[in-house]
Structure 1
Amino acid sequence: MKLKVTLIAAAIAMSSGYAMADVNEAITYQKGWGNDASVDQTSGMRHYADIWQDGVKNTSDIVQRGDRHNAVTDQFGTGNDVQVDQRGSSNSAYHFQDGWFNKSSSDQRGSRNTATVHQFGAGNSSSVAQNGSRNDADVWQNGMMNRSAVDQRGSYQQATVTQSHFGNSSDIEQRGHHQNADVDQSGSKNSSDISQSGDGWFAGYNYASVNQSGYYDSSTIDQSGFANVAKTTQSGFNNDADVSQKGTKNYSKVDQSGWNDIASVDQQGAFNVSKITQAAAGPMSWMSNNATHIQQGFKNVATSQQHGGGNTARIVQ
């Protein structure tokens, strides 16, 4: 049976002169065996919490402090767990899990932050930490043992993570304002690590995109400064891309589709462009191709294309 608890101050019940704006609302619905739902709204006002659980041994825990928070959790299956902690004002969190032993948490500080998490399968885990204003994190995971961590501090940060199949890992750290990160991993045992920072008038607006559809591929992107763009696309097996950009409006694109390929990009300065394409071809395709670009200064351009195996390219400007 659905239980609806409405917390209203005694004065409101006695006098119609008080506005209904001070009402906290919590709703729980549970079906199955051994489920546990907890809502704590003892501090603040105008909070809304909704927990729906259907299955065995699912747990939801929502804590709301401050003003006007919104939290919704829906869980189906066995042994799933959601933890929501909201402080500040007008933060929103939505968690949906369907499967077995998935775990999801959101920790929100500040105002008007949004966290949305969908997980399907078994043993997936997601954590979202937001401190600031108007940050947004959207996580979708489908499969087994995938892991996502998003840490946003600042304002107007955007992080999107989509992972499927088995054992993928994504870490996104954003500092400053107007950072944007997009991760899509559809293979197995791939890993992505994105770090973006930038404060001040001439900082922020960095963009990072990672698309990995192979196995055991690894991508690292580290960006600081203003309006840098990094795009990494990898398929195949055990490829590695490492991109570091510091400065203003640098651009990096890495595309690898072979086996054991390695790409390394280091750009400092402004308006530098780096493009690396490496692909397997021929009987030696299992051997590692290796490309390195190091650029410092202004408006340098480096392009490397390698097909086959065992090739090495190095550009320093």
Structure 2
Amino acid sequence: MQASDYPQRPVRVIVPSSAGGTTDLIARIVSSRLAKLLGQSFVVENRVGANGVVGEDYVSRQKPDGYTIMFVPSGHAINNSIYKNIAYDPEKDFTPIILINTVPLAVVARPGLQVEHLADLVSLARAKPERITFGSGGIGSSNQLATELFATQFNLKLVHVPFNGDSPTINGLLGDQIDFAFINVPAVLPYIKEKTLKVLAVSTAGSIPSLPDVPPVAATAPGYIAASWHAVFAPAKLPPEIVATLNRGINQVLSLPEVRSRLAEMGIEVKGGTSDELAGFLHSEIAKWAEIARIAKVKAE
């Protein structure tokens, strides 16, 4: 197939996490513009489970013809360090297309939790070991590891409650099922603006444009930095000409002022670049998160 021939029919865009979450939001923003650019529908399909393993396993077994691609969060670099017997390799069984963005996490608490600052949460957790609960997008998710890294710095004994993505985690906070969570800013920003959830900190080195008055975690935990990211992959052995078409198209979408401003408003830093750059980035991320998982002793049961 020549690059000029692709795509000739709708493309399925697999999102291995819940509808309404950060990965889903970004996938829909990019897919809708990519459809206009390439003249075919890019249809988002959510396949949820096991911190993305269900959806990624599905994509790894599809034909490398360009008609099934996936938008994944940084859990793609984490899962093989956490879960036993995963059938796919995150590098060998996928073709890298493009790094979409990086995104900070916000530390948010349920409305009734008696804390106003991150230091209050630390004090409360110290006073109530193994009684303060935190949610995440799943076992081994980047927000679980970000929380474990935070807990390790203060030697906190917390209780982890895994959900299937950002939206269910937010619902858990609103329903008083959990006490706090580190959540991707785009998913939780509306609740922060509406003051239905308490925001305590952000995971970047300093404040961010979308939440300029919120202090960084590093103000309480010196040196702390954590961030998530999103990227596009396809099944292994995707023809280079299709890789080039998708990479070029998505780079064009990411350069659109309307897309850049929309993502910036959500607290997202647009990246883009080449497929080779994504391959190198993924390799380094796998090593980094494996070490964090080892230190925090995170393993799926």
- Which category describes the TM-score, using the shorter chain as reference length? under 0.3
Q: Which has the higher strand share?
A: 1
TM-score by length of 1: 0.18
The structure with the largest alpha-carbon Rg is 1
Q: Which has the higher helix share?
A: 2
TM-score by length of 2: 0.19
